[in-house]
Structure 1
Amino acid sequence: MTRGFIGSDALTALTHRLADQLSVTREPPSNLAFSPLSIYSALSLVAAGARGGTLDELLAVLGASSRDELAENGRFVAEHALADRSPSGGPRVGFASCVWHDAGRTLEPAYIEAVAASYLAEIRAVDFRNKADESREEINKWVAAATGNLIDSILPRESVGKSTAVVLANAIYFKGKWKKPFKKKSTKVERFYLVDGTAVDAPMMRTGRSQYIDVHHGFKVLRLPYRSKEPGASKKRRRGTSSGDDPAPPLPRYSMCVFLPDARDGLWDLVGKIASSPSFLRDRLPDEAVEVDKFRLPKFKVSFYGKLSGALRDLGLKAAFNVDKADLTDMAPDFVDRSGQLNRLVLKDVFHRAVVEVNEEGTEAAAVTVCDEDDEGADWESEPEPVDFIADHPFAFFVIEEMSGAVVFAGHVLDPTKHQDTLHDV
């Protein structure tokens, strides 16, 4: 029986490690949005075909004890935590995985069976060797369809070629309406103060309604629940994972959580606190609504588009990128070509793209992670009380599925008037 998402702490830890890597490599610092869950899921597809030291490194980065644990998490996410709730009035959610392989490079039957069962992954044969660009376009079309066209492509020109053997992808789409929408007529342009002390004019959403807010030393936390009309759902919010003895896992519930430092230049210190423990985030989410005097939250659209290979190496994932050490033989066996050259799968690039847009009605977000593999020769807490919540300076945000504790999207807003989406290496 499915026990639920047993890797929520590991996913949260990966979230913070990636956020740190993606932040420090961007000069000057800028807005950030990414999907920890999509990256986790795509790397799990790689781990399903890895062995030896390559598998050990993947498990360490993902915080899992075994491939079986990753498979159980994948099955729970695909079938439950990110199952579409729109037919019953909840968020529209999409979760999809796909593996493309060159028609001349067959995958191991056990790998195909494993990723189809655990990640609901599609398997498609393409002609990378002779029709690389057409294959790339096919993958980009799949990405657009899987993300509601919020992301139109992921693979740039020349990112695949005749040496490409396998491409693995995970895509997540989310569109949820706030449980308590903001009134558009109340939105006013106001000053938003940047980390360098200057300010920009940004549309700020306002409300006089009570909100889920907790006040902590040096920062405040806002939890904005998304609408969910589930018959028989418990009114009491539960955290963490479901027990193995539960007859069924709890129904998914989503929220956006905003961590706002008191100081205008306090975001990086706050991010450090959040990253200090995997439980820091969930332990500080508000449970009770409080009366609000002044409330300001900017509308924003933030994005990210980059290659994560360097960041993942820094996190300890090295063997998969090294032709002399990579062992992905549970995905596809090594082979000797006509020239006598030993060829094996090696991880070439990991592309990630994410978009998160927040307005008066709710949130629309999408992310896709693609792992490109080549065949290479072997020589390469406080009391509720009336509060103000004025997010007129940089803050961090997380979109979480509350029942499992899974972080679906994460990022920070340094300037709500900026929207960057240029491919870069991290």
Structure 2
Amino acid sequence: LPSLSLLSKILLSAICFSDTTSEFSVRLYHQLQVAGGQDNIIFSPLSVAVALGMVELGARGASLAEIRQTLGFNHLLPGVEFSLLQNLTAAVSNDDAHCVIRFANSLFLQEGIAFNPEFLHLMRKYFRAQVETVDFSQSAAVAEQINSWVENQTESKIRELLSAEDFSSVTRLTLVNAIYFRGSWKNQFRPENTRTFSFSKDDGSEVQTLMMYQQGDFYYGEFSDGSQEAGGVYQVLEMPYEGEDMSMMIVLPRQEVPLASLEPIIKAPLLEEWANNVKRQKVEVYLPRFKVEQKIDLKSSLQGLGIKNIFTSDADLSAMTDGKDLYIEKAVQKAYLEVTEEGAEGAVGSGMIALTRTLVLYPQVMADHPFFFIIRNRRTASILFMGRVMTPEVIEPNDHDFDSI
């Protein structure tokens, strides 16, 4: 019983902590949305938080204060956030879980600069992180080394994260952040039900996509923003992965309402409201098979949120190393996501079944226009991925690269 009580406390603290990181996640999404035009968006809020936690371990003074302020850690006792981040990553990357999740976080430091042993110890303790020394003046070799490392960490899904042009002889520190996820739907789509469909983009044009279909039990709800800002009523569908700890939540405005009308209302409390109010019921789901990947310049996004000091010569990373001129020149994240019928490798059957829509007995989610999504841990509420699909990049039936959902 005492251990159960301890487990409950850990889970409760992780949930409260996730509320804090949800706020950061949404703010970061809006930064990317403003810069993204009509592009797809995909990023991992949890992975960014972990990467910033790594930097925080080495930061002092104003550099430390900005990170804690922006991530919403000010209400926590100093240092508590590291254990909480450790708990969240452990919750989603458990080797016994049904989903495969791999974080690839690392700091690459210019050789000849000595690390603080305590910093190295804490990096291993909380983040199992790799810290490596390289010679940034050999930019091509460094790019190849970092790219190979990321490729290995993400089962070859994330390639060419950095190029030789990203480094110079004055580069001292590079923060690298990548994540890999593979899971199977609890209720899988039958490949023979997939057929070509028109996807209506918000600019009025249409593209052909492969639309998956199933009728099954999912978590579903209809919500209203109380005004016409988001076009009134919109749909929220939550589809669990095998094991039900992880799920994908899809937020879909009405057909005639552009996603840009819905995006401004997305706030951290609303994510919680969706999660708490969707109800399990039978739903007809039309979802495009798609893949989306994006390389994000975290530096500009984080600067927009208030983390500026660590990217300038005023940075105080003296808990990391005694070098006074150390700062982070570049921070990038590349995320990759595939959504297919089953989530494991498999070929699509050639027989396409015509789908009739004459008699609708159950709620129908027709994702044939832009939608917002999150992939989250349903126990801790931590957000693994957040993004939007403005144009589904089609995975062809003969493309056997079905590794990630």
Whole-angstrom CA distance in 1 between matches of 2:206 and 2:84: 43
User: 2 CA distance for matches of 1:57 and 1:314?
Assistant: 12
What is the Cα deviation at residue 67 of structure 1? 4.7
CA distance in 2, matches of 1:185, 1:317: 49
Relative to structure 1, is the Cα distance of residues 272 and 418 closer, same or farther in structure 2, using a 3 angstrom cutoff? farther
Aligned residues: 359
- Partner residue in 1 for 2:31: 21
Which residue identity does 2:129 align to in structure 1?
A: A
- Give the corresponding residue for 1:309: 299
CA drift of 1:124 comes to 2.4
- Structure 2 partner of 1:410: 386
Amino acid at match of 1:354: A
Q: How far has the Cα of 1:363 moved from its partner?
A: 8.2
Q: How does 1:414-425 map to 2 (within 5 A)?
A: 414-417=390-393
> Are residues 72 and 328 of structure 1, via their aligned partners in 2, closer, same or farther at CA, if it must alter by over 3 Å?
same
Percent identity of equivalent pairs: 30
Q: Are 1:302 and 1:357, in contact at CA under 8 Å, matched by a contact in 2? A: yes
Corresponding position of 1:150: 157
> Counterpart of 2:162 in structure 1: which amino acid?
L
- Looking at structure 1, the residues matched to 220 and 318 of structure 2 have their Cα atoms a distance apart, in angstroms, of 50
User: Structure 2: how far apart are the matches of 1:363 and 1:32?
Assistant: 23
- For 2:94 and 2:264, the matched residues in 1 are separated by 32
Query: Is the Cα–Cα contact under 8 Å of residues 110 and 171 in structure 2 kept in the other structure?
Result: yes
Alignment of 1:93 onto 2:84: no
Task: Letter of the 1:14 partner, please give it.
Answer: F
| Pair 1:360 & 2:375 matched | no
Structure 1 Cα separation of the partners of residues 82 and 149 of structure 2: 23
Verify the 8 A CA contact 2:218 2:280 in the aligned structure 1: yes
Write the distance in 2 (CA, Å) between the matches of 1:157 and 1:125. 16
Of the three residues 250, 267, 291, the one matched with 2:259 is 267
Distance 1:195 1:359 in 2: 23
What CA RMSD, in Å, does the superposition of the two structures yield over aligned residues? 2.2
Instruction: Assess if the C-alpha contact under 8 Å between 1:178 and 1:224 holds in 2.
Output: yes
- Which residue is 2:146 aligned to? 139
Give the partner amino acid of 2:22. Answer: T
CA contact (8 A) 2:237 2:278 kept: no
C-alpha distance in structure 2 between counterparts of 1:283 and 1:108, whole Å:
44
Alpha-carbon distance in structure 2 between the residues aligned to 1:48 and 1:363: 38
CA distance in 2, matches of 1:363, 1:222: 22
User: Could you say which residue in structure 2 is the equivalent of 1:220?
Assistant: 235
Q: Distance in 2 between matches of 1:79 and 1:170?
A: 17
| Distance in 1 separating the partners of 2:19 and 2:165 | 37
- Residue 153 of structure 2 corresponds to residue 161 of structure 1: no
More strand as a share of residues = 1
Whether 2:85 is the aligned partner of 1:109: answer no
Supply the distance in 2 between the matched residues of 1:67 and 1:116 (Cα, whole angstroms). 19
Give TM-score scaled by structure 2 length. 0.83
Aligned residue for 1:345, secondary structure, equals: coil
Residue ranges of structure 2 left out of the alignment (5+ in a row):
1-5, 225-232, 346-360, 396-405
8 Å CA contact retained: 2:104, 2:154: no
CA contact (8 A) 1:99 1:124 kept: yes
| 1:44 paired residue among 49, 53, 58 | 53
**363 and 157 in structure 1: CA distance in 2 versus 1, 3 angstrom threshold:** farther
| Conserved? CA contact 2:252–2:370, under 8 Å | yes
SS in 2 for 1:107: coil
Displacement of 1:418 after TM fit?
Answer: 6.7
| Residue number in structure 2 paired with 1:121 | 129
How far did residue 298 of structure 1 move?
Answer: 0.9
| Residue of structure 2 equivalent to 1:207 | 214
**Contact 1:308/1:351 (CA < 8 Å) preserved in 2?**
yes
Deviations 1:326-368 (A, max 9, x none): 1111111235xxxxxxxx111212111111110111389xxxx
Please list every run of 5 or more consecutive structure 1 residues that lacks an aligned counterpart in the other structure: 229-236, 238-252, 336-343, 365-384, 420-426
Aligned to 2:280: 289
**How far apart are the structure 1 equivalents of 2:68 and 2:344?**
32
Report the Cα offset of residue 99 of structure 1: 2.6
1:95-141 deviation digits (Å, cap 9, x = unpaired): 24333322300111111111111111123233334x34322221111
- The equivalent residue for 2:20 is 10
Which residue of 1 is the match for residue 201 of structure 2?
194
State the shift of 1:287 in Å.
5.0
Offset of residue 42 of structure 1: 1.0
Letter matched to residue 306 of structure 1 = I
Equivalent pair of 1:75/1:119 in contact (CA under 8 Å): yes
Match of 1:400 in 2: 376
> Residue 75 of structure 1 aligns with which residue?
86
CA drift of 1:160 comes to 2.0
Is the CA contact 1:45–1:168 (under 8 Å) kept in the aligned structure 2? no
Please tell me whether the aligned partners of residues 48 and 115 of structure 1 are also in contact (alpha carbons under 8 angstroms): yes
Preserved contact between residue 32 and residue 301 of structure 2 (Cα < 8 Å):
yes
Question: One-letter code of the match for 2:259?
Answer: L
Could you tell me how far apart the structure 1 residues matched to 2:65 and 2:344 are? Answer: 37
The aligned residue for residue 241 of structure 1 is: none
Higher share in helix: 2
With over 3 angstroms needed to count, the CA separation of the structure-2 counterparts of 1:418 and 1:19, relative to structure 1, is farther
Q: 1:204, 1:298 within 8 Å by CA — same for their partners in 2?
A: yes
Cα deviation for residue 315 of structure 1 reads: 0.7
